[in-house]
Amino acid sequence: MKQLLIISYYFPPSGVVGCYRTLKFVKYLKPLGWNPIVVTIKEEYYKLKDRALISEVSNVKVLRTKLMPKIFLKDEGVRWIPYLFFNIILCLKKTNAIYITVGPFPSLCLLPIIKAISNKPIIVDFRDPWWLGRRNVISSNLFAKVKRLLERIFEVLTCCLSDYLIFATPTMKYEYCQHFGFLLDKKSTVITNGFDPSDFEKIKKNKNNTFTIVYTGKFSYSLARQNINNFLGALKILDEEKVDFYFIHVGPKSDYVEKQIKKFGLSKKYYFAGILSHNDALEWSYSADLLLVLGYHKRELPGKFFDYLGTGNPILCLGPPKGDLYNFVVKTNCGFALENKDPTEIAEAIKQVINGKTFDRNEHIINSLRRKELTRNLTSILDELIK
C-alpha cells in the first residue's frame, strides 16, 4: 500500500477545530489505497482534549514529538521544528508522498530542506492563509517586522517548491492565485472541510418543546469580526412579539456576548452549554430547530457550517454577500443567507422557519461534501503526483 507522511501539529486527542480536517482525511485514506503515518506533538501539549476522537484513528501509526522548552522560544510552531525534522528524516524512505497541513505555519520552513534531500512530492494544505492573510497588518517593532519578512519569504518558497497546494476555501485560493500567479499555475485546488455521516449514527435527535437556535464554537470579541448585535436585535424583536424561543451557545464563554444579551434583555432566552466534546456539540446541533453561523471575511467557511449541513437542519448564515459562506448556503439551499445588518430582516427569516418553512436542499452538492468524498479528491491528487 502507498505510504503518506502526514505532518500535522493538531491531531487527536486535540479537541481544537483545526484537528478535525486531518482526522477525517486520515480516517478515510486507507480504504482509498493510502496508508497514513502521522507526525504530531505529544498530547501533553494540548490544552483542549477530546479523547473520543482517538477511536476513529486507533489503527494509525502516530509519531508524537516533544517541543523545545519555552525558555528559548514562545512560538509553539518554531519550538516544534527540530523534533519534527528528525522524525521526517526517519520516515522519508518509507513514504511515497508528504502532506503538510498548516497552521501553525513554521513547519513550512523545513520545506526547502526536505526538497533538497528528497524527491518525494509534497502537498501543502492551507486551512488558513499565512502572510497573505495578514499582509495589511502593520508591525510595531523590529522583531515583528523581521518575523513578517521571514513569513513572506517562506510563503513564496512554499508556493515555489511544493508540488501541490490545497486551500480550504475558494476565496483563499483566488487570493493566493492573484498574488502569486504563475507559481500556482496548474498546481492548486480547493478541498473544503466537510461532514461525516458516521458522526451522527450514535447521536439521539431530541425534540424541543420550544423553538431552539444553536450556535457552536467561539465568538470573537472584536465587533468588526463577528457582530452578534444584529442577531440579538432580531431576537429582541421576536421577544417583544411574544415569540417563544431559546438561543443556545455551545463553546467557549464570551463575556462580551453575555453582556450584550443582558443589554438586549434576553437573559431568560439564553442558555450557555459550555465547551463540550465534538460528539456532544453535534448532539446540540442535531437537535436544533435553526443553526446560526456568522462570517466576516469573504474567504471564511467555518467547519461548523459543514457539521450543520450534516444535521439536515435549516441554517441561518449572517455574513458578507457573495462570500464563501454565503455562496455555499445559497448553492446548497440549506437555509437563509443574509447580510449581517438588518435585525428586522433576520427576525423575519427566523419567523419563517418557526412557521414551518422548509428548504429543498441540493443533495447532490451536499453529498460531495462528505468527508470520504473529499478524501477521495485528495487521493486523486496523490495518485497523479506519484505516477
- Would the CATH topology of 2-194+370-385 be identical to that of 198-364? yes
- For the beta carbon of residue 309, count every other beta carbon within 10 angstroms: 23
More confident residue, 51 or 226: 51
Q: Closest Cα to residue 121, out of 130, 136, 111?
A: 111
- For the beta carbon of residue 134, count every other beta carbon within 10 angstroms: 11
Alpha helices in the chain (DSSP H): 18-29, 76-91, 111-117, 142-161, 170-180, 229-240, 255-263, 278-286, 303-311, 324-332, 343-354, 363-367, 371-385
Give 16's DSSP letter. Answer: S
pLDDT recorded at residue 225 = 52
Instruction: Specify the CATH number for 2-194+370-385; select among 3.40.630.30, 3.40.50.1950, 3.40.50.1580, 3.40.50.2000.
Output: 3.40.50.2000
pLDDT recorded at residue 221 = 61
Domain ranges of the chain: 2-194+370-385, 198-364
More confident residue, 240 or 74: 240
pLDDT recorded at residue 185 = 74
Give 253's DSSP letter. Answer: -
Is residue 358 classed as helix, strand or coil in its secondary structure?
A: coil
pLDDT tens across 225-243, in order?
568 999 999 999 999 999 9
**Residue range 206-222: average pLDDT?**
88
Mapping DSSP onto H, E and C, the string for 104-146 reads: CCHHHHHHHHHHHHCCCCEEEEECCCCHHHHCCCCCCCHHHHH
pLDDT tens across 148-180, in order?
888 899 999 999 999 999 999 999 999 999 988
Region of 158 (left: φ > 0; alpha: ψ -120 to 50; beta: rest) is alpha
Single-letter code of the amino acid located at 292: L
pTM of the predicted model as reported, rounded to 2 decimal places: 0.94
| Residues 198-364, CATH architecture | 3-Layer(aba) Sandwich (3.40)
